[in-house]
Amino acid sequence: MSTQLSEEEWRVKLTPEQFRVLRLKGTERPGTGEYDKHYEEGVYHCAGCDAPLYKSSTKFNSGCGWPAFFDAIPGALTRHRDDSIGRTRTEIVCAKCGGHLGHVFKGEGYKNPTDERHCVNSVSLRFQKQ
């Protein structure tokens, strides 16, 4: 089931920074997000609609300045081609509400089971301890 809100409803529900990132496809500055160096056990949810996105067991320290995960909860994300900066990247959004999470990069040599780095904005996430 998808979460469909009007732009005004999203503006009321989200903080200005969450709205800029989740709805306008912004990016938080590297190293500023609360979850970059966060390693508690639990689940990371979408800050927009509360859909579960990532288990903490898939989070790793990539050194990129944003939270990094190697895999999402099955069905939690949708991937889109993104040519917005003059080169092709893969954007990841919440499958439930369409909120922008970040980008996924493949083949960078990180030693994880998928050879992927999901580079996610902290402001797009809400953590729930287990």
Q: Which residues are identified as catalytic?
A: 119
User: For the chain, first and last CA: distance in Å?
Assistant: 24
How many whole angstroms separate alpha carbon 99 and alpha carbon 78?
10
**Helices (runs of H) and strands (runs of E) counted in the chain:** 2, 9
How many whole angstroms separate alpha carbon 122 and alpha carbon 35?
5
36 and 66 in contact (C-beta within 8 Å)?
A: yes
How many whole angstroms separate alpha carbon 1 and alpha carbon 66?
28
